[in-house]
Chains A and B, each alone.
Chain A
Amino acid sequence: MIANQRSLILHAGLIVILFALQFLLPDYHHTNFTSIMVLATYAMGYNILVGYTGLLSLGHAMFFAAGLYGAGMGVYYLELHPVLAFILGSVAGLLLAIAIGLIALRTTGVAFMIVTLMFAQAAFLVTLYFNDITHGDEGLTLTQAARGFDLLGWHVDLTNPSQRYNLALALFLGALLLCLALVRSPVGRVLVAIRENEERTKMLGYDARRYKLLALSLSGLLSSAAGAAYVLFFGYVGSSFAAIPYSIYPLLWVLLGGVGTVVGPVIGTLLMFYLIEISRDHTSSYMIVVGVVLVLLVLWFPKGIAGTIRARWWGWIP
């Protein structure tokens, strides 16, 4: 019980702090935090697969991009209502995740990493190949008019920083609650059991493939929801979002924050976002930060920040 209360205080505190920050942050950081909350949702989605099922994907950019393109093209070509476009983007990622899962989950370990990398690369190339529709690297820009809508008598303008911030917070809160619920549910425990010992879990009568497919689907759904929100909030989608770095980022965020912790991906996203922003001010070779942090994490800090805190001090962190 004590552990539950502590966990409640930690996560509720995080949401309260994020809510309060919007009144304190200057414009530049205000926008950054909007991005960070959306990207942290992506990281939490990634973490469902790697952290709770033990499957390392090198291709999550395809799910993120499915959300971006699903929602972005829905608004751009079909002139969809942004809420419908958000749903379209999320569902696109979910369906892609199910399709990829049915094929790729026959493999594990290194083979799974390479298979997902290859599928994601094929998806990236598809965005380039259908240049007429996607405009490739140049991408699609959504107009301000297309990003405003009326919902239940309330006018929402997604170019308005304050509304955007709170919608990002709502998305983030939804993802956080989903992850917390998943971890505490029987399904979540089966997933952890698969991570720890797949053979044994199978022997106990669980259909490991089905659970892994469920984890990948949820993971893809959160990733694509984040992508769909990203394009609606910031009004741009291009091929670069489907490229390899966007598969590496969530890996980096989750490793830094702590694999298999609910709060870790948020910490990792926040730190890496600012680390990359700061080094971008100093050098055009800012991606070297990604390389150095990855190597250092793997060598000396494999549990990440929240994972280390859990191992050393606060055993109750979910």
Chain B
Amino acid sequence: MDLGPHLLLALLEGTVSAFVLAVTALGLSLVFGVMRIVNVAHGEFFMLGAVLAWWITSLVPEAPFWGFMLALIGAPLAVGAIAVVADALVLRRLNYQPEATIVATIGLLYILQQAVLTIYGPDARPVVAPIQFRVVFPWFGYSGYKLVAVGAASLLLLAAWYGVTRTKFGLIMRATQFDRETAQAFGIPVKRVYAAVFALGAMLAAAAGVLVVPLQQAHYLMGLDPLLLSFIVVIIGGLDSLKGTILAAFVIGISDGIISVFFSPTLAKIIATLVVALVLVFRPNGLFGGKAR
């Protein structure tokens, strides 16, 4: 193939990973923005979404489409419930103290990951895409499901945006983010808001996991990459800014796709992790974020 088709392929791959990444990172960003905690177990929620999607679709092998739809609703709900339990049992008891919470979520990471290893096993298992068609370009064919995943992810992003900016819950959430004490004084049940936000963040990760699983098999170690990429996106986008997060997801997703196709995926990751460390040191509000309050 020539450079042109190669570039097109890289752009397509980059767009798909950018959309999925945007959904995952948005969850991390919401949790950090509102609760001021870094959830290291975020990638495990992504993995749980994928593994549960495998389990749910395997229950209805005769109807892959409906099985997948069921997974798209059921897996995030189940993961959200797990997140609520984790919040009540662990995070709330720590009073969301930032450093203790990181250590606790590292613990949570291993608990969830190893529980899945025990129950689900070490194998990577495929999930059949709910729809089968190929988009045929003159140079190569392209899986149609990837475009569907992009569509579904953009719907999720729109819904999240609508939820945060246009609904009562979004308003309550932003009030809590802006000033926890004052929100509490105005009768906002801050603890319940925290639980809901933590669950919402986990559900976004799980939904991204479900969308990814037909492209990439479900495996108990698959949570690490989305976790690190989400960190990168949230840090570069600005820890406070949802818009920045989404913008950064596209920059990172597409450049990752292009560097991975033309160079090596490992090199792309090395560059990204070094850049993000430097951004965090020298521009702690991100490249796209506003000034610190």
Is A119 part of the contact surface with B, judged by Cβ < 8 Å? yes
Q: Decide if B111 touches A288 in the complex (CB within 8 Å).
A: yes
Is B93 part of the contact surface with A, judged by Cβ < 8 Å? yes
Q: Decide if A114 touches B231 in the complex (CB within 8 Å).
A: yes
Question: Please, how many angstroms separate the alpha-carbon atoms of A109 and B113 in the complex?
Answer: 26
Which residues of the other chain, B, contact A129 by a CB distance below 8 angstroms?
Answer: 264, 266-267, 270
Q: Nearest-CB distance from A50 to chain B (Å)? A: 10
Residues 83-142 of B contacting A (Cβ, < 8 Å): 90, 93-94, 98-100, 102-104, 106-115, 117-118, 122
Q: Decide if A107 touches B280 in the complex (CB within 8 Å).
A: yes
Given contacts A284-B117, A285-B118, A287-B113, contact A122 B274 (CB under 8 A): yes
Residue ID in chain B nearest A244 by CB atoms: B224
Q: Decide if B93 touches A299 in the complex (CB within 8 Å).
A: yes
> Which one, A104, A107, A117, A126, contacts B270 given CB within 8 A?
A126
Which residues of the other chain, B, contact A292 by a CB distance below 8 angstroms?
Answer: 107, 110-111
Residues 215-267 of A contacting B (Cβ, < 8 Å): 244, 248, 251, 255
Q: Kindly supply a per-residue 1/0 record for chain A positions 106-147, scoring 1 wherever the CB is within 8 Å of any chain B CB and 0 otherwise.
A: 110111011101110110011011000000000000000000
Given contacts A126-B270, A284-B122, A299-B90, contact A104 B277 (CB under 8 A): yes
Centre residue among A119, A285, A297 by max chain B CB count within 10 A:
A285
Given contacts A255-B103, A287-B110, A292-B111, contact A122 B277 (CB under 8 A): yes
Q: Decide if A295 touches B107 in the complex (CB within 8 Å).
A: yes
Which residues of the other chain, B, contact A121 by a CB distance below 8 angstroms?
Answer: 228, 269, 273
> Which one, A111, A248, A288, contacts B280 given CB within 8 A?
A111
Q: Number of contact residues on A: which range applies?
A: 35 or more
Given contacts A110-B38, A288-B118, contact A118 B277 (CB under 8 A): yes
Which residues of the other chain, B, contact A95 by a CB distance below 8 angstroms?
Answer: none
Q: Number of contact residues on B: which range applies?
A: 35 or more
Q: Decide if B266 touches A110 in the complex (CB within 8 Å).
A: no
Which residues of the other chain, A, contact B224 by a CB distance below 8 angstroms?
Answer: 244
Which residues of the other chain, B, contact A297 by a CB distance below 8 angstroms?
Answer: 103
Question: Please, how many angstroms separate the alpha-carbon atoms of A128 and B282 in the complex?
Answer: 27
Residues 276-310 of A contacting B (Cβ, < 8 Å): 283-288, 290-295, 297-299, 302
Given contacts A103-B281, A119-B277, A288-B118, contact A298 B109 (CB under 8 A): no
Q: Decide if A118 touches B102 in the complex (CB within 8 Å).
A: no
Question: Please, how many angstroms separate the alpha-carbon atoms of A295 and B103 in the complex?
Answer: 7
Q: Decide if B99 touches A109 in the complex (CB within 8 Å).
A: yes
Question: Please, how many angstroms separate the alpha-carbon atoms of A107 and B117 in the complex?
Answer: 36
Q: Nearest-CB distance from B221 to chain A (Å)? A: 11
Question: Please, how many angstroms separate the alpha-carbon atoms of A56 and B103 in the complex?
Answer: 10
Question: Please, how many angstroms separate the alpha-carbon atoms of A136 and B107 in the complex?
Answer: 27
Q: Decide if A295 touches B93 in the complex (CB within 8 Å).
A: no
Which residues of the other chain, B, contact A287 by a CB distance below 8 angstroms?
Answer: 110, 113-114
Is B64 part of the contact surface with A, judged by Cβ < 8 Å? no
Is B284 part of the contact surface with A, judged by Cβ < 8 Å? yes
Which residues of the other chain, A, contact B280 by a CB distance below 8 angstroms?
Answer: 107, 111, 114-115, 118
Question: Please, how many angstroms separate the alpha-carbon atoms of A294 and B235 in the complex?
Answer: 26
Which residues of the other chain, A, contact B273 by a CB distance below 8 angstroms?
Answer: 118-119, 121-122, 125
Question: Please, how many angstroms separate the alpha-carbon atoms of A111 and B285 in the complex?
Answer: 11
Which residues of the other chain, B, contact A104 by a CB distance below 8 angstroms?
Answer: 277, 281
Residues 182-241 of A contacting B (Cβ, < 8 Å): none
Q: Decide if B284 touches A111 in the complex (CB within 8 Å).
A: yes
Q: Nearest-CB distance from A127 to chain B (Å)? A: 10
Q: Decide if B118 touches A283 in the complex (CB within 8 Å).
A: yes
Which residues of the other chain, A, contact B110 by a CB distance below 8 angstroms?
Answer: 287-288, 290-292, 294
Question: Please, how many angstroms separate the alpha-carbon atoms of A150 and B107 in the complex?
Answer: 45
Q: Nearest-CB distance from A196 to chain B (Å)? A: 15
Residue ID in chain A nearest B122 by CB atoms: A284
Is B276 part of the contact surface with A, judged by Cβ < 8 Å? yes
Is B7 part of the contact surface with A, judged by Cβ < 8 Å? no
Question: Please, how many angstroms separate the alpha-carbon atoms of A301 and B116 in the complex?
Answer: 27
Q: Decide if B108 touches A291 in the complex (CB within 8 Å).
A: yes
Residue ID in chain B nearest A129 by CB atoms: B266
Q: Decide if A103 touches B278 in the complex (CB within 8 Å).
A: yes
Which residues of the other chain, A, contact B278 by a CB distance below 8 angstroms?
Answer: 103
Residue ID in chain A nearest B41 by CB atoms: A291
Question: Please, how many angstroms separate the alpha-carbon atoms of A299 and B97 in the complex?
Answer: 11
Q: Decide if A294 touches B107 in the complex (CB within 8 Å).
A: yes
Question: Please, how many angstroms separate the alpha-carbon atoms of A42 and B98 in the complex?
Answer: 25
Q: Nearest-CB distance from B76 to chain A (Å)? A: 23
Q: Kindly supply a per-residue 1/0 record for chain B positions 147-160, scoring 1 wherever the CB is within 8 Å of any chain A CB and 0 otherwise.
A: 00000000000000
A-B contact pairs, 16 of them (CB 8 A): A58-B102, A110-B102, A111-B284, A118-B274, A119-B274, A119-B277, A129-B270, A284-B122, A288-B111, A291-B109, A291-B114, A292-B110, A292-B111, A299-B90, A299-B104, A302-B100
4 more CB-based (< 8 A) A-B contacts, given A118-B273, A255-B103: A285-B114, A291-B111, A298-B100, A302-B100
B residues in contact (CB < 8 Å) with A:
38, 90, 93-94, 98-100, 102-104, 106-115, 117-118, 122, 224, 228, 231-232, 235, 264, 266-267, 269-270, 273-274, 276-278, 280-282, 284
A residues in contact (CB < 8 Å) with B:
56, 58, 103-104, 106-107, 109-111, 113-115, 117-119, 121-122, 125-126, 128-129, 244, 248, 251, 255, 283-288, 290-295, 297-299, 302
